[in-house]
Chain A
Amino acid sequence: MSTTYTFSKEDLAEIEKIKAKYPDKKSPVMPVLWLAQDKFGHVNDDVQKLVAETLDLPPAHVFGVATFYTQYYKKEMGKFVIDVCTSFSCQACGAYDILHYIEDQLGIKAGETTADGKFSIQSVECLGACGYAPMLQITNGVYCNHLTKEKVDVILDKLKKDEMPAFERIPFPQHTTAKS
């Protein structure tokens, strides 16, 4: 059975606002793909077609854009996508151990999704948190820094209960140590 995807009146109003930020009709593709992914959880072929129709663009163009950028999920993913950074600073700080620990805990490998559809794991490139390594990001959202196995346990427990970890504000070191 195939799902039909549609934008609501509110979505269409939001899309009009997005269109107003750009001088031509091609440019809003990326923000509208983001809006669609936030709503449907992915931008599979059908969602891409919907975006193309809504923006009056050739489907091939939207497909070209969606496939170029790694953050757009071209197929359905787990409810929580765990992106573990394994780029060089994180690698140096034990990211692969963390990645393998998460793989063991969830019983899947990077690139896979659990049978219950709850978790996917990906090994990704630098997320811009190199000084707080090792780290991961959940479903293009919150960053979890300074990972240890214990911290990973806490995060996974939360996610199993559908709770999202909170945003971690990392103090600027010169502020906390500044002399008055």
Chain B
Amino acid sequence: MLQDWKNYQPLLIPNIPNLHRMDVYEKNGGYEQLKKVLTDSEYSPEKVTNIVKDANIRGRGGAGFSAGLKWSFMPKPDGGPRYIAANGDESEPGTFKDRQIFEYNPHLFIEGAIIAGYAMSITAVYVYIRGEYRDWINMMQKAVDDAYAKGYLGKNILGTDFSIDMYVHSGAGAYICGEESSLMESLEGKRGYPRVKPPFPAQKGLWGRPTTINNIETLANVPLVIKNGSAWYKAIGAETHPGPVLYGISGHINKPGIYEYPTGMLVSDLINEVCGGVRGGKKVKALIPGGSSTPPLRGDQLEGVRMDADSLRTAGSMMGTAGMLILDEDTDMVDFLWRVSLFYHHESCGQCTPCRDGTGFLEKTLIKIKNGEGEMRDLDLLLDLCTQMEGRTICALADAAAWPVRYTVTRFREDFEKRVKNTVYALA
């Protein structure tokens, strides 16, 4: 398994030319799992949910929550509409994986979403894709049209009494719409203000009806599990966080890009073996393992660290979206952190005071430090601001804004101390 990663053959984006085409996908076993689930009486909706739960597919959108467990929260069908909102907002800096599925294997996702729909008695799937992905939205729409034409979507699929619709919805430039309740507001044609929870989406989601939100990559894993079983899936990668994953690797690296490998890959293998090392043979100064909100790790903290939830938690960070940013020894962490704080300030929806004002203060303070006008006490101010933001808001954006600040300032303090004025205050 893990030691065999060099012979790993991608499953989500296999090496098959033109797999995005319906005929090629079908020729390679596509939609067979949907057929199996819909026509084999052994596969009741409960059984499908249980297989996915047992496989322990953990959400690839950032939080790593068990997909099957989430599905099991859906209430019993009452004859009214029920929805899946498939999250392709993909706006967390460092993340560029779901678009590979839209481009290279859209039908795997569609098949997975329909199977999930069957498991939860869903009537319609809304695929929310960030508006900037215009070209990928068109690719996805084409794949959805093809699936309708073949009778995999629509009324009475494959002659059964199961019917489901799928609609592609374009965002229009708002990171916050990746947050699940904001995404639902956006789908309902409103400003993307996150909702207060409870009620949770399974009770009261889209248009007040039961809804499950899953990431695109999460749903693309479903046909693999149905085909090969949960035991097979659990044997891939890390024990507590199994399966294939699309690692998005960017920054000061020789061969950046998206790579599919099992979870639990050694960070050092990904950097050195897969991506050909750091540019110019330099040392790693920092790794941001899973998108801008995951705490940066120092280069000297990476030994033995693996890309799975447990290993990264022990190391002091999180798996997030597996969008890994590698920064070399010449990077100025003050500049880096200022740019991250600008992002969160720009993207705060402004509903909660700690977030609206906090992200603004963080950015302002970092500009001051960046311009050489900061003082030593501003570093404590930054940490203080983080404490005032964490866990006090409607959604997790405020936490996502605070974590990189907290851990960049504490783990790379020397960069900050170098930039601030050494004002000495007399004790009163």
Please report A residues at the B interface, Cβ cutoff 8 Å: 21-24, 26-31, 33-34, 61, 64-65, 68-72, 86-89, 91-93, 125-133, 137, 140-143, 167, 169-170, 172-175, 178
Q: Are A128 and B132 in contact (CB under 8 A)?
A: yes
For the complex, is B295 an interface residue (Cβ under 8 Å from A)? no
Q: Is the interface of A mostly helix, strand, loop or mixed?
A: loop
Write the B83-111 contact mask toward A (1 if CB under 8 angstroms, else 0).
00000001111111001100110000000
Q: How many residues of B contact A (CB 8 A)?
A: 62
- Collect the chain B residues with CB atoms within 8 Å of residue A174's CB: 10, 13, 15, 259-260
Rounded to whole Å, the gap between the CB of A166 and the closest CB of chain B is 11
Query: Given A24-B188, A88-B292, are A130 and B172 also a contact pair (CB < 8 Å)?
Result: no
Chain B hits for A26, CB < 8 A:
188-190
Closest B residue, CB atoms, query A91:
B339
A131 near B15 with CB under 8 A, answer no
Task: Flag if B134 contacts A129 (CB, 8 Å).
Answer: no
Knowing A31-B170, A34-B170, A128-B95, the reply to whether A140 touches B132 (Cβ < 8 A) is yes
Q: A24-B207, A172-B258 are in contact. Are A143 and B94 (CB under 8 A)?
A: no
- B257 interface hit (Cβ, 8 Å): yes
Complex Cα distance, B95 from A38, in Å, reads 27
A142, B135: Cβ atoms closer than 8 Å? yes
Instruction: Assess whether B96 is in contact with A69, with CB atoms less than 8 Å apart.
Output: no
Chain B residues near A28 (CB, 8 Å)? Answer: 189
Stretch among B265-273, B340-348, B365-373 lining the A interface: B340-348
Instruction: Write the nearest CB–CB distance from B164 to chain A, whole angstroms.
Output: 14
Given known A24-B188, A68-B174, A133-B250, contact A92–B93 (CB-CB < 8 A)? no
| Residues in B lying within 8 Å of A, measured CB to CB | 9-10, 13, 15, 81, 90-96, 99-100, 103-104, 130-135, 167, 169-175, 186-192, 207, 248-252, 255-260, 288, 292, 323, 325, 327, 331, 335-336, 339-340, 343, 346-347
User: What are some 30 contacts across the A-B interface (CB < 8 A)?
Assistant: A23-B81, A29-B190, A30-B186, A33-B172, A69-B171, A70-B172, A72-B173, A88-B94, A88-B292, A89-B250, A91-B335, A92-B252, A126-B91, A126-B95, A128-B95, A128-B99, A130-B95, A130-B96, A130-B248, A130-B323, A131-B96, A131-B248, A131-B256, A140-B131, A167-B135, A172-B13, A173-B257, A173-B258, A174-B15, A174-B259
Among B91, B100, B250, B288: residue with most chain A CB under 10 A: B250
A30 close to B13 (CB less than 8 A)? no
CB distance from B90 to the nearest CB of A (A): 5
Pairs A-B, 4 closest by C-beta atoms:
A71-B173, A69-B172, A70-B173, A130-B250
Q: Contact: B325 with A92, CB < 8 Å?
A: yes
Residues of B with C-beta under 8 A to A142: 135
When the two chains form their complex, are residues B93 and A34 in contact, meaning their CB atoms are under 8 A apart?
no
Q: Are B170 and A87 in contact (CB under 8 A)?
A: no
Cα of A86 to Cα of B346 in the assembled complex, Å? 13
B220 to chain A, nearest CB (A): 14
Are B188 and A27 touching (Cβ within 8 A)? yes
Cβ contact within 8 Å between A71 and B15: no
Q: Which of A27, A128, A129, A140 contacts B189 (CB 8 A)?
A: A27
Instruction: Name the residue of chain B whose CB is nearest to the CB of A29.
Output: B189
- B-chain residues with CB within 8 Å of residue A132 when the two chains form the complex: 96, 256-257
Partner of B93, one of A69, A88, A175: A88
